[in-house]
């Protein structure tokens, strides 16, 4: 089975071993990963600092090798969502008086109470697009920033490693594992063979897909049931995926 990992595949000392949190590691040494296609962005933020032994990130530098200040990297926009479904994007920060005046004077929107919500959108400036292409950065969610000498500079997640693994594995799908197949447990984690894990993963994924449809209401639920021909488990899993994380002690 294929897994994806941001950072080194070498076992790392786990400083949170022994904790009671859901995500605390089940062993003193090893590394976290996700089955390919199941990545939780929030969990990637752990140990993201440049220089951390996990080796996930690096400084984003310009052609001259200089770090790029976060304040100089993005163009900031605000997208206005209106009650009738209309969207208007203007440059500048949220709750800007200048933008509200533009909406009234240039777009003829007299009643600003029709604004349903405002969304801040940051887009890399055009001059940095070749740099992003050079580093293979396709998603802005892979961009971060970190302080250095009191200034926030841009960093980025290095390209993830996709690897095949078939050894013993720790995971969170205990409810789908028969007692006879349990090798060891630690907190919310269970250790099994890969064969047992793959079966548990399939059941967990199907359940989450099913619940993604069944949690909808009214006409949306009806349309989804029609689209997937009455089989909700065909639907994309819309739930969080943090419980799909796995922990591998070492790759032989």
Contact in structure between 143 and 156 (CB atoms under 8 Å): yes
Measured CA to CA, the distance from residue 163 to residue 53 in angstroms comes to 19
Cα-based angle 220, 221, 222 (whole degrees, multiple of 5): 90
Residues 233 and 169 in one domain: yes
Domain boundaries, position 151: 58-70+127-157
Residues 64 and 143 in one domain: yes
Average pLDDT, the chain: 85
E strands in the chain: 2-5, 12-13, 29-35, 57-59, 74-82, 87-91, 115-124, 143-148, 151-157, 161-164, 169-171, 184-186, 189-192, 246-248
Residues 38 and 116 in one domain: no
pLDDT band at 232 (very low <50, low <70, confident <90, very high): very low
Distances in Å between the Cα of 129 and the Cα atoms of 13, 39, 123 are 37, 25, 10
Residues 145 and 65 in one domain: yes
Residues 230 and 146 in one domain: no
Residues 118 and 132 in one domain: no
pTM attached to this predicted model: 0.67
Q: Which of 150, 151, 148, 185 is nearest to 170 (CA)?
A: 185
pLDDT, one tens digit per residue, over 116-147 is 888 888 899 999 999 999 888 887 878 889 99
Residue pointed to by tokens 């409810």: 175
Residues 48 and 10 in one domain: yes
Please state the rounded mean pLDDT for residues 180-202: 96
pLDDT, one tens digit per residue, over 30-84 is 999 999 888 776 566 567 788 887 778 899 999 899 999 999 999 999 999 888 8
């Amino acid at each position: 089975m294929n897994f994806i990992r941001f950072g080194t595949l070498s076992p790392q000392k786990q400083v949170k071993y022994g904790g009671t949190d859901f995500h605390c590691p089940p062993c003193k040494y090893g590394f976290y990963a996700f089955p390919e296609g199941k990545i939780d962005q929030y969990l990637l933020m752990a140990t993201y600092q440049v220089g951390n032994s996990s080796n996930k990130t690096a400084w984003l530098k310009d052609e001259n090798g200089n770090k790029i200040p976060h304040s100089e990297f993005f163009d900031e926009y605000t997208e206005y969502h209106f009650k009738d479904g209309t969207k208007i994007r203007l440059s500048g920060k949220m709750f800007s008086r200048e933008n509200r005046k533009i909406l009234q004077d240039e777009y003829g929107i007299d009643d600003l109470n029709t604004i349903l919500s405002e969304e801040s959108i940051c887009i890399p400036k055009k001059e940095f697009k070749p740099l992003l292409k050079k580093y293979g950065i396709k998603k802005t969610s892979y961009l971060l920033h970190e302080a250095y000498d009191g200034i926030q500079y841009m960093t980025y997640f290095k390209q993830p490693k996709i690897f095949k693994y078939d050894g013993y594995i720790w995971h969170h799908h205990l409810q789908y594992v028969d007692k006879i197949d349990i090798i060891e447990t630690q907190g919310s984690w269970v250790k099994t063979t890969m064969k047992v894990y793959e079966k548990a993963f399939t059941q967990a994924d199907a359940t989450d897909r099913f619940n993604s449809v069944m949690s909808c209401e009214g006409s949306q639920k009806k349309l989804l049931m029609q689209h997937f021909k009455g089989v909700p488990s065909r639907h994309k899993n819309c739930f969080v995926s943090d419980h799909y994380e796995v922990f591998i002690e070492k790759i032989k």
